């Protein structure tokens, strides 16, 4: 059953804590992306990776970090430096080398800061 898995579905964080959101895919896609979604603001790109061991900052990378040690996995860490992390986080994948290719999205993780 091919697809993208994001875990956990809901995550609660205390002030000052780092938390890591998981994104795993078995679509054999090279490209992976992290978006943040806030009501009325659409999707904003946090980080993206076109290939293993390489990633680039998106529009709102401050306070976030990522790693891409395996093709299948692209975890996102929300650090304590992110001042307003409460949001819905979406992971997406696409085939690399296809500039206009479709993005496939995971089910999302809702992060709430207590």
- Interface ranges with other proteins (CB under 8 A): 4, 6, 31, 33, 40-43, 45, 48, 50, 58, 88, 90, 92, 94, 96, 99-100, 102-108, 110
Give the helix/strand (H/E) hosting 24. Answer: strand 19-25
CB of 16 vs other proteins, minimal distance in Å: 27
CB 21 within 8 A of CB 2: no
> How far is it, in rounded angstroms, from Cα 47 to Cα 78?
12
C-beta of 71 vs 80, nearer to other proteins: 71
Gyration radius of the chain's alpha carbons: 13
CB of 23 vs other proteins, minimal distance in Å: 11
């Amino acid at each position: 059953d091919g697809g993208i898995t994001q875990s956990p579905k809901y995550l609660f964080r205390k002030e000052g804590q780092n938390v890591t959101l998981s994104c795993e895919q078995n679509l054999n896609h090279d490209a992976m992306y992290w978006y943040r979604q806030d009501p009325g603001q659409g999707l904003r790109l946090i980080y993206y990776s076109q290939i293993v061991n390489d990633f680039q900052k998106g529009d709102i990378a401050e306070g976030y970090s990522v790693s891409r040690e395996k093709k299948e996995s692209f975890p996102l860490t929300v650090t304590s430096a992110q001042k307003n992390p409460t949001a819905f986080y979406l992971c997406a994948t696409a085939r690399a080398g296809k500039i206009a290719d479709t993005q496939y999205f995971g089910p999302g993780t809702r992060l709430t800061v207590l």
